[in-house]
Chains A and B, each alone.
Chain A
Amino acid sequence: MTHLDEPIRRFKRSQIVNHWIMLVCFVGLVVTGFPQKYSGYGWAKGIILVIGGVERVRWLHHLFGTVMALQLVWHGLDVLWHWLVRRLPLTMIPSIDDVLHFWQQVQFNLGRAATPPRMPRYTFAEKVEYLALIWGTVLMVATGVILLYPTRWLPLPGEFVLASKAAHGGEALLAFLSILTWHAYFVHVRHHNWSIFNGSLDAHAYAEEHALELDAIRRGEIAQPAPIVPWRLAVFAVLALVAVAGVAALWLWLNGSGIPIQTIVAGS
């Protein structure tokens, strides 16, 4: 019989690193973004003063945003690698079961069901957050790039730039408040879940949150990566190359207008 606090391995090192990058970028973007959105407030000016002026704030914002955008591409390729080459199940993709789990959890919480749902590797709460993160990052990167290169999208009317600004700010607030509520509750309040930093979750929390997966772990039924098949590897390599080339081409095209926009007067 295992102890309740037996650590169960949950995340591998690359996932921990991925989260760390995400965390630093997210905090960095919040700290450098909201003072711009709410620039009229004293606290906003204070943060900008401490960082060293709005120019540096924007430079950092663009830096964190670029890292996050590249991380999104990396994540896409990572998913592709595991799904296409290593043929592992996509455990983050929502299914009808998640809707059922949500319903069962609500019933249980309201005292109308005797037991809570038994959930797989990722709960509906985690999947909601994951999808919001992917959707949010795509939207933030897209609108951010429009704002960074405002004249590159002509002949679309200039209104799109302002609509992008509105969406960038709105989505930012939505993301920030979601992290403050949903994310903070599930990993800091409901359980002191440090697994994304130290890789392991204790058996007690695991049993409560991911009963189905814990059972599979106990039975040794966790899906193992398939051996690499040459044609799958080739397809992956081509797609990865296309993605990298696409990013490079986009970057070159965006910077191809000849004159980068500078807030500081050149030569000063």
Chain B
Amino acid sequence: MSIVRRRLLGCCRLVAALAFGAAGAASADDPNAACAECHGSADQVTAAAEAFELELEPAQAGRLVVPSMGEGSVHEGFSCVDCHSGAEEIPHPDTVMAGNPCATCHEDAVKAVNQSVHADPAGGSDLIAPCWGCHGAHDVRLATSAASSVAPGHVADRCLGCHDKREYLTGVHGHAVQHSGLDIAATCVSCHGAHDIQSSGTIGSRTKRRNVSSTCGKCHGRVAEAYRASVHGAALMKEDNPDVPTCVDCHEAHGTRDPAQTQFRVASPEICGKCHGDAALMTKYDLSTAVFSTYVADFHGTTAELFRAVTPNQPLNQAVCYDCHGVHDIQAMHGAGQEQINARMLVRCQVCHPDATNKFLSAWTSHYVPSRDRYPLIYWVNVFYQLVIPGTVGFFLLYIAVDWLARRRQHRRSA
């Protein structure tokens, strides 16, 4: 430390002592005591600014109060100037807050962040998400400590500061972490990573479509395995198919709903219908959108849709798509899917219709639109009414029109 700086520091102390009579309070052993004389409280900050004739917005005073490095901080014992080099100069030069002081010791971490979406565009250490944005500035704790600003319960607060994904908090994971204290539930970093976060478009990103099942599979291993063997998962893994759903297409990435809850079951046909009701998409794979419309036209589908629209919180026991097709292990119907359905369907019917037999299975058209060849009875009933309704009503209207005109004519004559 230069003599000039020491003198300046002494000056500073003198000013503080004159102003507050507090010179004796600073311990000679504490390297940060001198800093605390100005940065200890808002009043001290204001007084120091006045003494040095510095312009200070009232709101700034609070921000310039620096709490002492608390007990348990990983940087306990460090002096302020270790990070804030240049702060020895009083008044501090403009550059005192410039740069990234963490980079001096945590070179590897800064390098890692520089490979991520939060990198410094200039390749330096001026990161888009600065270190202290997540780890805090003065009270940095080990990530394993519950008091850490990046502990599971606090991570979301850090990320949500910039990223508007508040639905995470009400989703099943956020709720588990924040409300139930379940630290093993997924936080932002569980899926996105920490220093090495990549955008979902980047190859190798944890959130790239083909990697999503592995990311979720870190915790939901068997589900991810079943998914990757399913018609959807296999198409994604083998062909990098852009249309099949990944975990997050059905479960939502941030606002993930608890699939064990009523609302999920009630809304589930709509999830499948997003794609299976989309004519353009289904044509691409030679699939019929009637799979969705026939379900909705059936008693069970109608009920499920009405529950969703009107009473979404009411428990529903009507068969939904996944009751017969499976949840994650869905197979193509021209492949193993038919066997799956055969094994599941009657069992599922009997849950609500205990006396159902194999003969009862034709009470569901298996997504076929009734035709002359398939379900002809239903087809002919429909044809009958398609002819009889317009025929009858048409005859009624014709008769009424003639009768009404005749009566008007008659009235005119008698008048």
Contacts and interface: CB of A to CB of B under 8 A. Distances in A.
Interface of A: 36, 39-40, 45, 48-49, 53-55, 105-106, 108-111, 147, 150-151, 154-163, 165-167, 169-171, 173-174, 177-178, 181-182, 185, 189-190, 257-259, 261-265, 268
A259 B362 contact: no
Given A155-B359, A258-B354, A268-B315, A263 B402 contact: no
Given A162-B363, A190-B403, A154 B396 contact: no
Given A162-B365, A166-B382, A170-B385, A111 B406 contact: yes
Contacts, number: 145
7 contacts: A54-B307, A110-B406, A150-B363, A162-B362, A162-B378, A182-B400, A262-B317
Contacts of A173: 385, 389
Given A159-B375, A159-B378, A162-B375, A171 B310 contact: no
B220 interface: no
Interface stretch (B52-60, B239-247, B296-304): B296-304
A185 B400 contact: yes
A-B interface, 9 closest residue pairs, ranked by CB to CB distance from nearest: A158-B363, A170-B385, A109-B406, A265-B315, A158-B362, A54-B306, A268-B315, A166-B381, A161-B363
B64 to A, nearest CB: 57
B396 A159 contact: no
A170 B305 CA distance: 22
Interface string B273-297: 0000000000000000000000010
B357 interface: yes
B363 A48 contact: no
Contact of A167 (B296, B361, B381, B407): B381
B310 A45 contact: yes
B232 to A, nearest CB: 26
B53 to A, nearest CB: 69
A170 B393 CA distance: 13
A53 B385 CA distance: 29
A105 B403 contact: yes
A40 B377 contact: no
B17 to A, nearest CB: 73
B12 to A, nearest CB: 70
Given A49-B309, A154-B359, A265-B317, 9 more contacts: A39-B302, A48-B309, A106-B399, A108-B406, A160-B377, A162-B377, A170-B385, A181-B393, A182-B396
Interface of B: 296, 299, 302-303, 305-307, 309-311, 314-318, 352-357, 359-365, 370, 375, 377-378, 381-382, 384-385, 388-389, 392-393, 396-397, 399-400, 402-407, 409
Contacts of A150: 353, 360, 363
B368 to A, nearest CB: 11
A177 B314 contact: no
B353 to A, nearest CB: 5
Which of A156, A159, A262, A268 gathers the greatest number of chain B CB atoms within 10 Å? Answer: A159
B360 A158 contact: yes
Contacts of B360: 150-151, 154, 158
Contacts of A155: 357, 359
A141 to B, nearest CB: 17
Contact of A190 (B363, B396, B407): B407
B82 to A, nearest CB: 62
